[in-house]
Structure 1
Amino acid sequence: MESIFHEKQEGSLCAQHCLNNLLQGEYFSPVELSSIAQQLDEEERVRMAEGGVQTEEYRTFLQQPSGNMDDSGFFSIQVISNALGVWGLEIILFNSREYQQLQINPIHEKAFICNYKEHWFTVRKLGQQWFNLNSLLTGPELISDTYLALFLAQLQQEGYCIFVIRGSLPECEADQILRIMRVEQQQRPKLIGEDEAQRVSVQQTSDAGHTADEVLLDEDEEELRKALALSRQGMEVEDEEADLRRAIQLSMQGGSDPRSPGAAVTAGSSHDSGSSEEAMTAEELRRRRQAYFDRQQAQSSAHDRSSADGAKESGTKPDQ
């Protein structure tokens, strides 16, 4: 891996890094790419002037910023194409109809350059292996032949424009070495700044007074609170059924006529041990009694079905 040239991100000079990582050397500088961009701007100005320097279109063109570069270090596809032309290289849009009709397996190409939201990076074959030379990574990323097509398809799905590089790339040390040997990558490179971001996150957590053990403890306490809440719900259901059974017994012992609108029955809560009482109207008692009977009937039906299933499995008939 040490022989592979990998220029890492500086500012917004990803187009420069893309070209240099493709060509495997410091072939272009920001000054040289700016010169190409200015030349393209001048050619565009001359073409616009052919329609008349007094026209509204020409005056509007002069007021617009360059479309080939900006102050941040961004360079357009035209700049990259012209820069590669110096080395006799050309680019073809990967998903164009012209290229797709060729039906070429990506592993038989030499290199690709990819662009998304003004970020450029190179994917190149060195020796017999493919590498992602994205300047945002801490180092080259090995891509297997079987994964290459999937990798490119994933980039397209994410909105990347992919260009195929055609022509003879300059000779480089990495290509010569990797022709006679293959490399293995034990750990894939991370994004630049990823380790620092994780360190800052851990430091912020520590500064806030929350260690990893405390975070786990908080999670355990939350789970315990949920379990207690569920158990309380179960107790409330049991208490409700106990209250209802007592109310039913009282109503059957000759209490007030439950059909009378003003009738009421008093039932003590089982978990209050008779210390508090709750008055229920006849209509409320009727509804709760019906709900209680419905639950009992459902439980009984479920039990009968379970018995029938068990008998069927054992080859016997259930008791009639």
Structure 2
Amino acid sequence: MPISKIYHEKQTRQLCALHALNNLFQGHQPYTKAELDEICCNLSPNVWINPHRSVLGLGNYDVNVIMTALQLRSCEAVWFDKRKDPSCINLDVIVGFILNIPSDYKLGIITLPLRKRHWIAVRRIEERYYNLDSKLSLPECIGNEADVLQFLREQLMTNERELFLVLENSGRGQEEEGSTQRWLRDSHVRHKTTNGT
């Protein structure tokens, strides 16, 4: 698919979480800032300063907002333990990935010595995986399955980055055996069961 046909919201204000969600779902039933703000209020009602977004209400949403927003679209986010290698991920059941990465504060062309967090989405579109970071001018083609696993491996080489796997909600209870591990390749599930860990 030509990159120009891929849905790609660009960065505005501190709304990277909103852009990551909309880019992940390719603009289908897009989320709005008002919807994410409502989630913030529902998560922490009756507070003067909401802990799930920036003090001024300009965005900068935390992972709780993203996880709740995904549930509204019958999906769930699973935190990936970076001690594992991404090769254990069953890519066939993954809707996409959301990464939380460090980002610099900039005032014009001046970079300030402060760090903030930035959300980006990665997903397969047709046969290729794309980095849909809202700070990119265009989506960036990562490549095939081997390429995306290497991309994730490189992203997780520092402790400053977190990876969340986005899956369609199975509709099964969390207590049902295997429901929380369905993103693991079968060989890794068997190995885990055999070792009793």
> Shorter-chain-normalised TM-score: which range?
0.5 to 0.7
Q: 1:107-148, CA deviations, whole angstroms, 9 ceiling, x for partnerless residues?
A: 763310001242101000111110000000001100122321
**Residue 39 of structure 1: aligned partner:** 42
**Residue 75 of structure 2: aligned partner:** 89
Aligned residues of 1:68 and 1:78 also touching (Cα < 8 A) = yes
Which amino acid counterpart does residue 66 of structure 1 have in structure 2? N
Q: 1:18-62, CA deviations, whole angstroms, 9 ceiling, x for partnerless residues?
A: 0100111161111111011011012xx6xxxxxxxxxxxxxxxx5
Query: Following the alignment from structure 2 to structure 1, what is the Cα–Cα distance between the partners of residues 51 and 99?
Result: 19
Instruction: Tell me the TM-score normalized by structure 2.
Output: 0.67
Matched, 1:68 2:52: yes
Query: Following the alignment from structure 1 to structure 2, what is the Cα–Cα distance between the partners of residues 123 and 162?
Result: 10
Larger relative contact order (CA 8 Å, sep ≥ 6): 2
- Change beyond 3 A, Cα 1:142–1:108: farther
- Change beyond 3 A, Cα 1:137–1:96: closer
Instruction: List aligned pairs for 1:5-24, cutoff 5 A.
Output: 5-24=7-26
Secondary structure, aligned partner of 2:135 = coil
Secondary structure, aligned partner of 1:157 = coil
Aligned residues of 1:15 and 1:80 also touching (Cα < 8 A) = yes
Secondary structure, aligned partner of 2:4 = coil
Quote the sequence identity (%). Answer: 32
**Residue 4 of structure 2: aligned partner:** 2
Secondary structure, aligned partner of 1:2 = helix
Q: Find the structure with the greater CA-based Rg.
A: 1
Which amino acid counterpart does residue 130 of structure 1 have in structure 2? Y
Equivalent position to 1:78, from 15, 39, 64: 64
Query: Following the alignment from structure 2 to structure 1, what is the Cα–Cα distance between the partners of residues 82 and 142?
Result: 24
> How far did 1:15 drift?
0.6
Q: 1:258-312, CA deviations, whole angstroms, 9 ceiling, x for partnerless residues?
A: xxxxxxxxxxxxxxxxxxxxxxxxxxxxxxxxxxxxxxxxxxxxxxxxxxxxxxx
Which amino acid counterpart does residue 53 of structure 2 have in structure 1? M
**Residue 124 of structure 1: aligned partner:** 123
Aligned residues: 148
**Larger CA deviation: 21-30 vs 135-144:** 21-30
Q: 1:219-261, CA deviations, whole angstroms, 9 ceiling, x for partnerless residues?
A: xxxxxxxxxxxxxxxxxxxxxxxxxxxxxxxxxxxxxxxxxxx
Larger fraction in strand: 2
Query: Following the alignment from structure 1 to structure 2, what is the Cα–Cα distance between the partners of residues 157 and 74?
Result: 24
**Residue 97 of structure 2: aligned partner:** 112
Query: Following the alignment from structure 2 to structure 1, what is the Cα–Cα distance between the partners of residues 118 and 152?
Result: 16
**Residue 154 of structure 1: aligned partner:** 154
Gapped regions of structure 2 (runs ≥ 5):
102-115, 170-197
Where does structure 1 differ by over 3 angstroms across 4 or more consecutive aligned residues?
99-102, 105-110
> How far did 1:149 drift?
1.6
